[in-house]
Amino acid sequence: MVQKIPGTRVLDETFKKTVTAVAVPLGHSQALAFASKFMNEAVTNGTLRKAMTTTA
């Protein structure tokens, strides 16, 4: 976005942190394993960041 808005500066520190959570019912161990793996991969490969910054 810096390239799109002249005069914009990027700060080193973070002023707001967004937390993403997934809820899985108790006793659904396979669902928990799937959701955990999916979220870890989404964070690692940038899918989550892209989804959070994409505007409709």
Q: Per-residue pLDDT for the chain (56 aa), expressed as one digit of tens each?
A: 778 888 888 877 777 777 788 899 999 999 999 999 999 999 899 988 888 887 55
Q: Which of 9, 35, 7 is nearest to 21 (CA)?
A: 35
Whether pTM > 0.85 for this model: the answer is no
Rg (CA), the chain: 16
pLDDT of the residue at 8: 85
